[in-house]
């Protein structure tokens, strides 16, 4: 693979950055017959099956499973299963997810057998047994060919992404590397042979992490800075000026739980500086260097908090919305330049963040999981939710609910995570 391409074959430098280019790249990931299958799955999942389920009278509803026809209530009851299968198919083909193999082939094989059984069971309607056998065999042959093609396509679903060092270069900068998601980013980069510049305030933590990373045979540089302080971005840019940076991870961030009017104004200002101004200025300062190399990656650690206003975390959610909008817009601006941009949007993650923000402890995912999703999706899309139900909540439920209800529901959730004295 050309190192100017993202893992998903994203446009090489100089490619068409518009919608046409995006579509071309998206469909170039698989052969034509598989694109057709993906579109068929999408049509079934989002148009036909919902229409069938909601619009067709019960009396005339009919579904075929393993060649056997189901009618009325039985047919209706099994339609959601069809919907889930086709939706998984559309999603799986779109992202070429590894789990689609061997399930797509097994499902197509089951359809092939159904297509043989179906006309034989209902031979009278097809025009007699001889004709039913012929129809069954022809359909069986067609679906068997599809089954074989899906079976043989194993490598397409298993194609791993190139190593980060091969894809983007020798050095990365990670802000907020002294704990949590930033430390996990740094560890995963070192495991893939990328040397890392580590930035945060706690120098002792950064030095300990640097020694750990160097065991992977990479170099490190520790830059201890308060990134909410004036002039800190320039100092950081100067501190890494001699490094061949290929990856910039804008990760440092803090929250502050509580009712807005009780929050400390200086702390809120520092949060906006750290969460918004710093990643904006740092990215702007380093972009010309990535452009000069013709390849690179810029990541922003956003949050699910960006997907709706969060009472009792009002300013934090607003800062994360800023990061999300900034990163997604840059993704579009930089498409075709060889620079990939991704906003990774975790939900609750088990780091020091909750404690620093003054929240009540609550369960979350591991930072390593967040990082794995980010590397997997980088170069393929502008932003990513780190769990599928976060995606569903952020992109379906929250967009459909009236804003009043949405914000009040969020208030209910945040109350449970906020100590009484801060509510």
Ligand X SMILES: NC(=O)c1ccc[n+]([C@@H]2O[C@H](COP(=O)([O-])OP(=O)(O)OC[C@H]3O[C@@H](n4cnc5c(N)ncnc54)[C@H](OP(=O)(O)O)[C@@H]3O)[C@@H](O)[C@H]2O)c1
Using CB under 6 A, list all residues that contact ligand X.
176-182, 200-202, 205, 226-228, 251-255, 274, 301, 303, 346, 348-349, 351-353, 356, 364, 367
DSSP β-ladder status, 245-250 and 171-175: parallel
The Cβ of residue 267 has, within 10 Å, a number of other Cβ atoms equal to 13
DSSP H or E segment with residue 302: none
Looking at beta carbons only, is 10 or 227 nearer to ligand X?
227
**How far apart are the C-alpha atoms of 47 and 396, rounded to whole Å?**
16
Q: Are 149 and 174 in contact (CB under 8 A)?
A: no
Separation between Cα atoms, residue 361 and residue 201, nearest integer Å = 24
Phi, psi of 205 (to 5 degrees): -65, -45
* Residues forming the active site: 316, 320
Spatial separation of the C-alpha atoms in residues 164 and 185, rounded to whole Å: 12
Residues 6+ apart with CB under 8 A from 48: none
In whole angstroms, give the CA distance from residue 365 to residue 293. Answer: 35
- Residues contacting residue 52 through CB under 8 Å, at least 6 positions apart: 61, 79
**Pair of tokens at residue 128:** 């007699």
Please state the length of the chain: 423
Which has the closest alpha carbon to 381: 317, 319, 311, 299? 299
Residue closer to ligand X (CB basis): 181 or 298: 181
Residue 119, phi then psi, degrees to nearest 5: -65, -30
Cα–Cα distance, 40 to 6 (Å, whole number): 26
Beta bridge partners of 221: 197
């Amino acid at each position: 693979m050309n190192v100017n391409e993202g893992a998903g074959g994203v446009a090489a430098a100089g490619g068409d950055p518009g919608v046409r280019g995006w579509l071309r790249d998206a469909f170039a990931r698989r052969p034509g017959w598989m694109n057709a299958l993906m579109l068929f799955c999408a049509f079934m999942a989002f148009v036909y099956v919902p229409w069938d389920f909601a619009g067709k009278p019960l009396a005339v509803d009919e579904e075929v499973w393993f060649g056997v026809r189901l009618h009325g209530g039985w047919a209706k009851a099994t339609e959601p299963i069809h919907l889930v299968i086709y939706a998984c198919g559309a999603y799986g083909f779109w992202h070429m997810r590894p789990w689609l193999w061997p399930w797509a082939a097994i499902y197509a094989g089951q359809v092939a057998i159904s297509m043989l059984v179906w006309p034989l069971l209902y031979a009278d309607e097809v025009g007699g047994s001889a004709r039913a056998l012929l129809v069954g065999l022809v359909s069986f042959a067609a679906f068997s060919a599809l089954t074989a093609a899906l079976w043989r396509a194993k490598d397409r679903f298993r194609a791993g992404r190139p190593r980060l060092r091969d894809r983007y270069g020798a050095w990365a900068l990670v802000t907020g590397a002294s704990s949590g998601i930033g430390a996990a980013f740094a560890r995963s980069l070192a495991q893939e042979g990328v040397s890392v510049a580590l930035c945060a305030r706690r120098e002792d933590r950064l030095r300990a992490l640097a020694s750990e990373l160097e065991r992977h045979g990479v170099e490190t540089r520790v830059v201890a800075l308060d990134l909410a302080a004036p002039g800190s971005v320039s100092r950081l840019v100067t501190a890494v000026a001699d490094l061949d940076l290929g990856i910039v991870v804008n990760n440092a961030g803090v929250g502050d739980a509580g009712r807005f009017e009780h929050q400390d104004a200086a702390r809120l200002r520092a949060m906006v500086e750290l969460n918004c101004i710093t990643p904006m200025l740092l990215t702007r300062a380093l972009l010309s260097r990535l452009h000069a190399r013709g390849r690179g990656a810029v990541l922003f650690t956003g949050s699910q908090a960006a997907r709706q206003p969060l009472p009792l975390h009002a300013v934090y959610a607003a800062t994360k919305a800023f990061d999300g909008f900034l990163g997604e817009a840059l993704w579009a601006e930089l498409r075709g330049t060889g620079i990939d941009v991704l906003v990774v949007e975790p939900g609750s993650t088990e780091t020091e963040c909750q404690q620093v923000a003054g929240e009540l402890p609550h369960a979350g995912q591991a930072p390593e999981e967040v990082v794995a999703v980010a590397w997997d999706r980088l170069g393929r899309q502008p932003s990513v939710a780190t769990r599928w139900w976060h995606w569903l909540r952020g992109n379906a439920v929250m967009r459909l609910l009236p804003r009043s209800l949405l914000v009040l529901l969020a208030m209910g959730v945040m109350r449970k995570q906020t100590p009484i004295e801060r509510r």
